[in-house]
């Protein structure tokens, strides 16, 4: 079956013919993604140049300050850690065509939950790490799951559009965190809480520089390892379990899934719980591994960048790791780039090119002579 393109320009000596592919060749997905990123970087370069910047300078700076030395590579991995979690959160939901775009809010609540473990003061001073850390991560996971679950329940029970609710919950969570850091948990009127005790910090490589002297100054923390483990676990869940199969089936063909007797409402709630929990872990790992306190605006939009990470990885949990590191580099280097919007713009252009490039997966596009 061939569908011809709706555009026909008879003025040109050739025409675009689009033929639907029955299946796409192996490796084409990765190839088109790379091609799309290259095109996106070229487009971004034009915009930067138009704005009066030097695109080569900007790109060279990004590479140098994110991969130039072992120290900055470690910093890149620190930035990639929350992105892996939020990228996974989005991938799980998007795989079933559930548009959880509010990972940012679930991350906020996760961070709040982890902070609450320290700040409510139920644990005595000097509590050991092996009690603090699991509790903090669990609290982050729980609060994130709750936040995602609310949207999932509203979708399953009332058929309320999850795009809007997850996003509104982002704004609610931001106000919620502000309330606590400006109010009850404020340290001396500043918009941040007191610093967590050392026992509540996720261990970093630099903490072990007495054992291996090269570790000095490397801030990459246990959260990165946890994120990689989470990615493998999510891959296993989606590809090797019955529930994962159901999720993929709903994503590919909801009607068939319904006929197969899958309870779609329950699966929606489950997936939103998992998705929220993963994003919540991002927040917990960030406050415990990097910031060491809760403060306003500690996230430069990790939840939103997670959306792009998920698409770049084509919802493949292992691909998420790679995409997250690339965007971690962009965020890390982006802090010093002026004007400040450049990283965000590049993200937008990349996402656009990636989804536009999908057409090459679905169609064989050919130029034919008239």
Partner 1 sequence: MNLELALAAGISSGTVLLFAAIGELFAERAGVINLGVQGMMFVGALVGFSVGYNIDPWLGVVLAMVAGALLAALHGLVTIHLQANQIVSGLALTFLGTGVALVLGEGLPSGSSPLLPVVTLPLLADIPFVGAVFFSEQSILVYAGYLLVPLTSIWIFRTRPGLHLRAVGEQPSAADALGVNVYRQRYAYVMLGGALAGLAGAYMTMSQVPGWHADQTFIAQGWIAVALVIFGQWKPGRTMFGAYMTAFIFRLSLDLQGPKELFGIPNIFYEYGPSTFVLGMLPYITVILVLVFAASEANRKRIGAPASLGTPYVRGERGH
Residues near partner 1 (CB under 8 A): 3, 5-7, 47-48, 51, 99, 101, 154, 158-161, 163-165, 167-169, 171-172, 175-176, 178-180, 182-184, 186, 304, 307-308, 311, 338-349, 351-352, 355-356, 358-359, 362
Q: How many residues does the chain have?
A: 370
C-alpha pair distances (Å), 370 with each of 4, 8, 12, 13: 14, 11, 8, 6
Q: Which C-beta is closer to partner 1: that of 171 or that of 236?
A: 171
Smallest separation (angstroms) from partner 1 to the CB of 147: 12
Structure tokens, 157: 């029970």
Query: In this structure, what DSSP letter does residue 69 have?
Result: S
Sort residue 292 into left (φ over 0), alpha (ψ -120 to 50) or beta. left
Cis peptide bond N-terminal to 133, omega within 30? no
Please choose, from the candidates 109, 119, 118, 129, the residue with its C-alpha nearest in 3D space to the C-alpha of residue 283: 109
Buried/exposed 112-132: b ≥16 CB within 10 Å, e otherwise: bbbbbbbbeeebeeebeeeeb
Contact 184, 194 (CB under 8 A): no
Q: Are strands 363-369 and 14-20 parallel, antiparallel or unpaired?
A: antiparallel
- Closer to partner 1 at the Cβ: 200 or 320? 320
Of the pair 162, 286, the CB lying nearest partner 1 is at 162
> For partner 1, which is the closer residue by CB, 81 or 347?
347
Minimum distance from residue 155 beta carbon to partner 1 (Å) = 9
CB of residue 211 vs partner 1: minimum separation in angstroms? 43
Minimum CB separation of residue 4 from partner 1 in Å reads 9
Reading the block at residue 80, the tokens are 């990639």
208 vs 362, beta carbon nearer partner 1? 362
Q: How far is the CB of 232 from partner 1 (least distance, A)?
A: 26
Nearer to partner 1, 156 or 230 (CB): 156
Minimal distance in Å, beta carbon 33 to partner 1? 14
Whole-number Å distance between alpha carbons of 320 and 306: 9
Nearer to partner 1, 136 or 307 (CB): 307
Q: For residues 318 and 223, what is the distance between their CA atoms, to the nearest angstrom?
A: 16
């Amino acid at each position: 079956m061939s569908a011809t393109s709706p555009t026909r320009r008879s003025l040109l000596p050739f025409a675009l013919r689009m033929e639907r592919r029955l299946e796409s060749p192996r490796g084409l997905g990765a190839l088109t993604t790379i091609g799309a990123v290259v095109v996106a970087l070229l487009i971004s370069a034009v915009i930067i140049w138009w704005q009066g910047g030097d695109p080569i300078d900007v790109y060279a700076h990004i590479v140098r300050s994110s991969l130039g030395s072992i120290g900055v590579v470690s910093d890149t991995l620190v930035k990639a850690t929350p992105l892996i979690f939020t990228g996974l959160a989005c991938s799980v939901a998007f795989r079933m065509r559930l548009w959880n775009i509010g990972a940012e809010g679930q991350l906020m609540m996760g961070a709040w939950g982890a902070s609450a473990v320290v700040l409510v003061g139920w644990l005595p001073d000097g509590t050991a790490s092996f009690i603090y850390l699991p509790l903090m991560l669990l609290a982050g996971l729980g609060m994130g799951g709750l936040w995602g679950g609310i949207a999932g329940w509203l979708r399953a029970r009332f058929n309320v559009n999850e795009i809007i609710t997850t996003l509104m919950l982002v704004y609610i969570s931001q106000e919620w965190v502000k309330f606590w850091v400006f109010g009850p948990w404020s340290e001396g009127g500043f918009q941040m809480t007191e610093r967590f005790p050392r026992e509540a910090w996720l261990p970093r490589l630099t903490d072990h520089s007495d054992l291996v002297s090269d570790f000095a100054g490397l801030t990459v923390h246990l959260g990165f390892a946890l994120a990689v483990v989470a990615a493998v676990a999510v891959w296993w869940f989606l590809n090797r379990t019955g529930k994962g199969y159901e999720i993929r089936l709903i994503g590919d063909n909801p009607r068939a899934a319904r006929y197969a007797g899958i309870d779609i409402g329950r699966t929606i709630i489950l997936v939103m719980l998992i998705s929220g929990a993963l994003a919540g872990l991002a927040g917990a790992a960030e406050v415990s591994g990097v910031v060491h306190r809760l403060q306003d605006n500690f996230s430069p939009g990790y939840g939103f960048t997670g959306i792009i990470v998920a698409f770049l990885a084509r919802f493949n949990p292992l691909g998420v790791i790679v995409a997250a590191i690339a965007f971690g580099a962009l965020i890390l280097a982006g802090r010093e780039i002026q004007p400040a919007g450049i990283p965000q713009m590049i993200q937008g252009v990349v996402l656009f090119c990636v989804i536009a490039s999908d057409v090459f997966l679905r169609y064989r596009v050919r130029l034919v002579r008239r």
